Each structure stands twice: as C-alpha cells, then as structure tokens.
Chains A and B, each alone.
Chain A
Amino acid sequence: MSLLEIENLSLAIGGQPILKGVDLSLEAGEVMGLVGESGSGKSMTALSVMRLLPDAASAAGRIGFNGIDLLAAPEDRMCALRGDDIGMVFQEPMTALNPLKTIGEQVAEGIRWHTRANRADAEAMAQRMLERVGLPAERFPLSRYPHELSGGQRQRVVIAIACALKPKLLIADEPTTALDVVLQAQILELLRDLVVENRMGLLLISHDLAVVTEMADRITILRGGEVMEAGNTAETLSAQSHPYTRQLAMASMHVPARAKTHHAAGTGPLLEVKGISRDYPARRRSLFHRPERFRAVDDVSFTLAPAQSMALVGRSGCGKSTLARIILALDEPSAGTIAFRGETITGRDQAALRPARRDMQVIFQDPYGSFDPRQRVERLVAEPLHLLDKRPTPAERRDLVAEALHQVGLQPSDMQKYPHEFSGGQRQRLSIARAIITRPKLIVADEPVSALDVSIRAQILDLLADLNQRLGIAYLFITHDLTVARAITDEVMVMDARRIVESGRTADVLSQPRSQAARALVDAAPDLHRAIARRMREQG
C-alpha cells in the first residue's frame, strides 16, 4: 500500500470542473513531482489532500493516506493529521506567517497542539527544528518576528512548521517560485535532505520542469485538471512520448533563433550610464538622529550599443530594478549621469525628456498590472503617442495602434477590447505593442517573461527576438533567470549587492563565470538538459 494514493479525484468549484479523474500515488521516502501550467489544477490537488479547499468546492473520488480515506474523514480527524502526519509548505513566504507572532510561537504552536507538550519542551523542539532548517539560535532566537526575516528565511520557518513533527507526507506547493535561484537551490536542498532523514514522502508541485526533474523520482504532468502522463522522471522526460510532455520540455529549453547581431558601424553608444548611485532614506532610529541612508545602486557604469541586446542579471534585491527605473527617468539618481544618444538625460525636466522617452520604452513583468483595467486597448496601446510632437488624428492613431498590434501578432479588432479579455501571454503582447508604437531605439524590459507559463514564455521570447532583428531595437533585459538571458541576449552584466560585478558576452559569462556572484547564479540555475542527463546517469 502506498503512503498516498489518489484515485479518480474529481473536483468542482461552484459547478466549474477543476480536476477530472486525477490518479497519483506516492511512497514513503519518495519525491513525486506534480507539474503543470497555471490553471492545470495542481494546487487544488494539494489542497484536496489537505482538505483545505474553498467552501464552494466539492470533491469526489478517493484519497488514501496510510489506509485512511481523507475525503471521507471527519474534520477533527483531519485536524489531527494536518501538521502532524501531513505537512504543507506554500508558495508565498512573505505572507505565510502571522506578522504578530514570534517565529518561536508559530513553530511551537503545532507541536504543543498535537503532542500536548508543555511550553518549555515545545520551544526546545521548535528551536531544534529551526536550527535544522538553517536558522541557528544565536542569530535567529525564537523571539524573532517574521518581519525581521528575509523571504528565504521565512520559507525556512514555514518548512520548520511543516516538518516539526516529522510528517510522513510533505506537500510543497511551488515552495521556491517566489525566491531567486540561489535561494531556490538552498531550499530545494533542504527539502531533499529532510526527505532522506525522515523517510518522508514529498509531493513537490511546480511549474518549472527543471526544478522537478532535479528533485523528483517520479513525475505527474497535469493539464486542464487531467493527468497527461505519469512515470519515472528520467524515462518520461527522455522519451517524451506524450505530445504535451514534449511540448513542455521543448518550451522549457526554447532558444529563439537569432542571427548574429548587426552592430551599426560608426555610430556612438545608444545608452551611456556613468557612475550611477541611488540612496534612499532608511527609517529613523529616533527623532533626534538623522535618518540613515540606504544605498540601492552603487556606482554603476556601462554602455549599450544600438540594436544590442543586453541582460542585467542578479539576485532579488540586488538593485537591478532600481537601476532600470533610473535609466527610464522614473527615478532620480543620487549621483552619476545617463546619456541617451549622446545627450545627458539626468536632471532634465519632463518636457525636455520627451524626445528621449519617445525612443526609450518599457515592458513590465506583471501582465495583469500593466494596464489600466478601465480603458480600452486602443487607448492603452496608444498612450506613448502622447510623446509625439504632432498629435496624430484619431484615424492616424487607430492606424498606428493597428500596426503595432499586427507587429506583435494580435488583430486590429482587439482594439475595442478591455485588458481583462486577454490571457496573460496576450497581455504581454499588448505590453510589447505599447512599447514599440513610437518605434523606439531601446526597450527596457523588467522580467518580461517570468510571470508567464513556459509555453507562452517561449512565444514571447521569439517575438522579442524577432522585433530585435526586424526593427533593430536594443534591449536591456532585467532578469534573474539565466535561461532567459542565454536565450535572447548577446551581452550580460551580473549585478550583486548594488554593484555590477561582472560583464561580458553572454555565452562566456554563463559558461565560465569569473566572479563569485555569477558562479553562484550559474550553479544554482535549474537546467533541464543537465538535470535529465544527471537523472539518466544515476539510473545507468
């Protein structure tokens, strides 16, 4: 008998089917990877096992855990299992902890609840558990509050809560998606060790095929609430016999076809960044002290040639997004200058910035937050036309919008729609249409594909590469994802702790990183090729 046996699980929320006959099984000490794109029902599968579904959900089928049918178990039985025999780790560590309770209270709470241990014993256990997940007592006493910890540290606390009573089954729902690659590698390693130590079964849910391949013994691929394929990880991914498996794997490793870059000879640099620093006032310690300053970007310089595609990679919080905003003149640097096409733009007023803005556009990460929900596409995409000296007539404006939509593969008829009528990938196309409508020379893209599913991501990368070729637009790609950098840029700069620590040709830097920060990024980055190869080697 398996530790966890999901048989023919179906789930509907308010009449809407979410899961259709899902089967899945997991043995003790085994890691099962559950992979799927957004909306595939993977989180709902996990919540069904925990029986923490929304009120309107109704589930049918059987979920066997250690001989108990969880779907039929009474609520108090479930309470006894949750946190004791079954633990769960969630995606968003920043909000997963109660901000008003110490980490000690939160870890000890489950221990006391289940074992009826006294406070001192429970706290001693909590302390040991926190130490085990990498939060030693000297630096992280039980009296710390969540807001005093970083995202990665908070995720460790969540893992400590879930594993405090050595559960037989741990469910981890996208446990590293909100973290950068280096933290991701650390958290995955911790989970792997805990599995081995406690002979836990781990149900690892992820959208990232590479992460799952590195971690999971077996894999289940979910799409639209149905299991597409399930089996041994190495075999499934090397054979890729199911078309959807193949599609996912191809998309995960996708590199757009790009010709060699055509640097326009003889022209000067498009963008020149010289000695940029940015300080922010930190919180006051007391009324009588000066507010301290906190430096977000420290003495950054680089140049970008016309039509060049450059990546700026770094861990979260390294200052790359601040730098992007300064380049876009949405934020003022504390020191340094930026020249665009040879003209200094720092310190200029809004009116004087208009020509530069016209030739420098932006794409943001979140395809849902990038558009005013109350305006139609025509107005949204046309917004940068505000920068033209001669206002286009309504007819001209419609033509320009239609042309931009055409360039990104959308229809002119989409003009009359509202943003919510589009999918995430289509919205990112809209973002791109808006960015190219003034025919800019440079686009700054801040994590433009990291919120997208892999198959959509591949399409958007193709589109961006194509525009680079056809329209000769230079890119500055801000990303934490080396796959993206590798796919679409010629040059890369690695930023770490507010500074640029390494730069060079993308292929060189990523294959032979010289700085420690770059090496850490490269080593930690999940890579599907490598992961499959390693799995194959291990299994002979």
Chain B
Amino acid sequence: MTAYLGKRLLIGLATLLVASVVVFAILEILPGDPARLMLGMNATADAVEALRNEMGLNEGLLPRYLAWVGGMLSLDFGRSYTYSVPVIELIRERAIVSVPLALMSLALSTAIAIPVGVFAAARRGRPADTVAMAASQLGVAVPNFWFALLLVYVFAVWLRLVPAGGFPGWSAGAWPALKALILPSIALAVPQAAILARVTRSALLDVLGEDFIRTARAKGLPRGAVLWRHALRNAMLPVLTIMGLQFGFLLAGTIIIENVFSLPGLGRLIFQALNQRDLIVVEGIVMLLVATIVAVNLLVDLSYAIVDPRLRTAR
C-alpha cells in the first residue's frame, strides 16, 4: 500500500511541477511589462526600471522560476499588479465563497446521483429505470449556466424565494450566505449528478453480471441484500474514478456559475484579473486549482486503496 501510494504521490508532485513550468512559461511568452502595467503609462523609465529590479524581473529565467515556485510553497503567490496587495490575500477573500460552493455542489450531486443510480440498476428495464435514465439523459445535455438562468428566473424572479445573485458575505450570518449559494450549487450539481447516476447504474449492472454475485445468490441472499452487500462496494471503484475526473469540471463549472450569480469567488476574480491583464493573479489561481485537482485525484487513489484489498497488500 505504501509503495502504491508513494508512487501516486510522486506522480502527483511531478504533475504539479510540470504544470508550474507550463504556467510560468506562458507568463514568459506574454508581451508587455508588468512593471509598466503597475506604474501606468506616465511613469518614468527609471521608476519602471527600479520596480523591475525590485520585482526581480531582471534576473535570469531559472532564478525567477525558482523564486516563484519557492514563494508558492510558502503560500506567497506574489503581489497583484493592479491591486498591489499580495495575491494570497485576494485568493483568501474569494475562496471563502468558492470552496463552500464547490463542496455543497459535490455533496448535493453525490447525494442525488448514487441513490438514483442504485435505484435504476435495481429496477433495470422497469418503468422506474426508464424514467430515471431518460431524466439523466436530459440532465447530461443541460448546460449548467443555462440551468442556472432558469433557476434564477423561476425561484428568484418569479417566486422570489431566494436572491437572484450577489453574496451578502459570511459576516451577514450563515443562513443568508448559504441561501445565496443554494441556487448556484443546485445549478452545478444537477448536470453532474446526471452523469454520475448513469455511471453508477452501469457500474452496478456490470458488477451484477459477475460470477461472485451468483455465488452470493447461491448462498441464499435475496437480490436486495446481494446488491447492498456485494455489488455496491465493487461498483464504487469506477464511480470514484469518474468522481475524480469530474472534479475538474466542477471547478470549471464553479468559475462560470459565479459569473451567472455575481458571486465574488475565485471565478469572478480570475476573469477580472484576465480583463485587467493582472496575470500573476491568473497564474496563482490556475496553479491553485490545478493543485486542488491533483490533490483530489490523490484522495481518489487513497480511497481506491482503502476499498480494494488487492492494492493494499503490496506483494
């Protein structure tokens, strides 16, 4: 198990390292001088030069790369060109919106998808299965931001149950803040849940066709007990893999959905920074998101090792 996890950890770190090189290289390709950008067009050449020295822009490629990576390791993502505050401050401010949003939608999509998938597999070919699968087929086809617009129209504009957008901040109390996140997380979760439900169903059906299911039935277990005791755990392996892959889509979805609901999260920040050419902020957020995706996939590997004894006993 340690060998397996050790290998996965090394791979994760290597992925991050290569990703950092890619992201850094993109900054290098870009035209334009960050120092000039920060000081504005009217600044003197001397002032720009002084700032360039201060920012370390006049040093060689490798020292700058190492300084950048070294900084990130100690959570120093540099200073924003436009706001002149540490990037980590900006990220921290915005993450308290994005992280709860991502977690809520992850929890919601799992809570919808797994029971629906199990239910459909258990009633394979019957009307309940057909309805569930038709609904999920539709869910897969719905763009999450369009679904978000629809939810806003129905629940905010029409029924006036929740705010149409914006975020009161956590200082306004937990409930108003959570309320502002309800529609966004539903919009994110439903299309994801549709995919996950389909995967759960087909993984379960695959497992239900295995020989050991027949062995369990020959033991005298009824269908239902076989499903819960034997099939579900085996079916979780492919489901976990898909959940790991989906996490990237979830983060991307978060970025888009924040724009629909005008939520002051990382997604809004990255677009503001993009429009203002504040690239060090863009880079910081991209690296952070990539690191999160890598970390989540490591977690998936870990849970694999917990579920599957064949990985646990390194032989």
Contacts and interface: CB of A to CB of B under 8 A. Distances in A.
Direct contact of A and B (CB under 8 A): yes
Interface of A: 50, 52, 75-76, 79-84, 87-88, 90, 92, 95-102, 106, 109-110, 113-114, 145, 147-148, 158, 161-162, 283-287
Contact of B222 (A75, A88, A148): A75
A101 B216 CA distance: 12
A98 B227 CA distance: 12
Contacts of B314: 283-286
Nearest to B217: A52
A170 to B, nearest CB: 11
Nearest to B210: A95
B231 to A, nearest CB: 9
User: Among B220, B233, B307, which residue has the most Cβ atoms of chain A within 10 A?
Assistant: B220
Contacts of A148: 313, 315
A114 B221 CA distance: 9
Interface string B301-315: 000000111100111
14 contacts: A80-B220, A82-B219, A90-B215, A96-B211, A98-B212, A98-B215, A99-B308, A100-B234, A101-B230, A106-B215, A113-B220, A162-B218, A285-B314, A286-B3
Nearest to A287: B6
Given A100-B307, A113-B220, A145-B309, A161 B3 contact: no
Given A283-B315, A286-B3, A287-B3, A95 B212 contact: yes
Contacts, number: 95
Nearest to A98: B212
B1 to A, nearest CB: 10
Contacts of A80: 220
User: Among B211, B214, B229, B308, which residue has the most Cβ atoms of chain A within 10 A?
Assistant: B211
Contact of B219 (A75, A161, A287): A161
A284 B3 contact: yes
B219 A83 contact: yes
Contacts of A100: 233-234, 307-309
Interface in B25-75: none
Contact of B217 (A82, A92, A102, A287): A82
A47 to B, nearest CB: 9
A286 B219 CA distance: 39
Contacts of B315: 148, 283, 285
A87 B214 CA distance: 12
A132 B266 CA distance: 64
Nearest to A165: B220
B219 to A, nearest CB: 4
A84 B219 CA distance: 7
A174 to B, nearest CB: 13
Contacts of A98: 212, 215-216, 230, 234
A328 to B, nearest CB: 30
Contacts of B229: 109
Given A99-B234, A158-B215, A113 B221 contact: yes
B2 interface: yes
Nearest to A97: B212
Per CB-CB distance, the 10 closest pairs between chain A and chain B, nearest first, are A83-B220, A110-B219, A83-B219, A95-B211, A82-B220, A88-B218, A145-B309, A98-B212, A286-B3, A287-B6
B7 interface: yes
A190 to B, nearest CB: 18
Given A113-B221, A148-B313, 18 more contacts: A50-B217, A79-B220, A82-B217, A82-B219, A96-B212, A99-B212, A99-B234, A99-B310, A100-B233, A100-B234, A109-B216, A109-B221, A110-B220, A113-B219, A148-B315, A161-B219, A285-B314, A286-B314
B297 to A, nearest CB: 19
Contacts of B230: 98, 101
Contacts of A52: 214, 217-218
A83 B6 contact: no
Contact of B215 (A79, A97, A283, A287): A97
Contacts of B211: 90, 92, 95-96
A83 B212 contact: no
A283 B1 CA distance: 12
Contact of B218 (A50, A147, A284, A286): A50
A514 to B, nearest CB: 35
Contacts of B234: 98-100
B310 to A, nearest CB: 5
A166 B87 CA distance: 71
Contacts of A110: 219-221
B218 A99 contact: no
B308 A96 contact: no
Contacts of B6: 286-287
A417 B7 CA distance: 49
Contacts of B2: 286
A109 B217 contact: no
Contacts of B221: 79, 83, 109-110, 113
A456 B216 CA distance: 35
A110 B215 CA distance: 10
Nearest to A47: B214
B212 A285 contact: no
B7 A287 contact: yes
Contacts of B7: 287
Contacts of A84: 220
Given A109-B229, A286-B6, A287-B7, A147 B212 contact: no
Nearest to A157: B215
A23 B6 CA distance: 60
Interface in B180-229: 210-212, 214-222, 225, 229
